[in-house]
Amino acid sequence: MAEQRLRLAVQKSGRLSEGAFDLLSKCGLSISRAKDNLYGRARELPLDILLVRDDDIPSLVADGVCDLGIVGENVFEEYSLEKDTPYTDEFIVSKLGFARCKLMLAAPKSEPADDPSFYQGKRIATSYPELTKAYLDRQGVECSIADMSGSVEIAPKLKIADAICDIVSTGATLEAHGLKPTHTVFTSEAILIKRPGELDADKKAAFDSLMVRIDGVIASRDAKYVMLNAPRDALDKIVDLLPGAEAPTILELAGRPDTVAVHAVCAEQVFWSTLEKLRSVGARSILVVPIEKMMP
């Protein structure tokens, strides 16, 4: 029997596709795209990519057309609420750390909207009716929803709605339309979802290999290898300052028994301010080196 290939749904073009293809590339996968741009194929693993609209990804995975999907948590959660099924735990495999954004309520700048009660009885335009209603229900606020598929930010000006609930990243779009964000309804990033249930053996092997790579890419994203020299008596302070470092390697410098070299993998970002602090407690010759791949 022919080898079964894992199927992954990815947004064809938009705010998720660059991050998704960047992730696959960092996983060492080169994807050749079919001429129609609806389909891609990885060379290094039995993995096929379906290029689709992001809104279709949750149902493609839930219905078993695809085994996996990369989608915004906001779109997935909206779908779960719409289907009235607590899909979350079963489906979400991993948060992917890109396409971060917030779904926020926003009102015209002149309105006193600091308290959620401002939205009582108001008409709110959104592409996320379920998430919006669920949030306002929790606040004990009743409102009506104008369900729009795009250009939500123009609704108040057109008098279609009093306020909106939309995705915000920099806030520039709200600003340009005379709106201000007031409350965060949902915080989102790209996630990897998987259809529940067992995969057959070929697919399972490909999935396990893909996950080792994805976990490695995520773990090494902020990770740095830090090397420095330090007076032996400042060692405790220095190790405390290294962000997210476990068990650094300490080596004695030849001919200088009072000085040691410290080598550590820092799991979190290493900022300039951290280097300044390290220097102020005696560290010298500090090197911060990127890590390309990591595997536990």
**Distance in Å, CB of 156 to ligand PRT, minimum:** 14
Cβ closest to Zn ion, residue 55 vs residue 90: 55
**Distance in Å, CB of 218 to Zn ion, minimum:** 24
Cβ closest to ligand PRT, residue 142 vs residue 175: 175
Residue among 288, 9, 22, 67 nearest 197 (CA): 67
Taking phi first (over 0 means left), then psi (-120 to 50 degrees means alpha), and beta for anything else, what does residue 140 get? left
**Distance in Å, CB of 128 to Zn ion, minimum:** 11
Cβ closest to Zn ion, residue 56 vs residue 67: 56
Report the distance separating Cα 114 and Cα 135, nearest Å.
15
Report the distance separating Cα 129 and Cα 81, nearest Å.
10
Q: Does 12 bind Zn ion (CB under 5 A)?
A: no
80 neighbors 128 (Cβ within 8 angstroms): no
Q: Does 77 bind Zn ion (CB under 5 A)?
A: no
How many other C-beta atoms are found inside a 10 Å radius of the C-beta of residue 55?
A: 15
Point out which span in 30-38, 50-58, 219-227, 229-237 binds ligand PRT (CB under 6 A). Answer: 50-58
Q: Does 55 bind Zn ion (CB under 5 A)?
A: yes
Cβ closest to ligand PRT, residue 126 vs residue 274: 126
Kindly identify the residues of this chain, within the stretch 80-99, that bind ligand PRT according to CB under 6 A: 99
Q: Which of 45, 61, 70, 101 binds ligand PRT (CB under 6 A)?
A: 101
Tokens, residue 28? 């060492």
Q: Does 125 bind ligand PRT (CB under 6 A)?
A: no
Residue where the block lists tokens 């390697």: 249
70 neighbors 57 (Cβ within 8 angstroms): yes
Residues making contact with Zn ion (CB under 5 A): 54-55
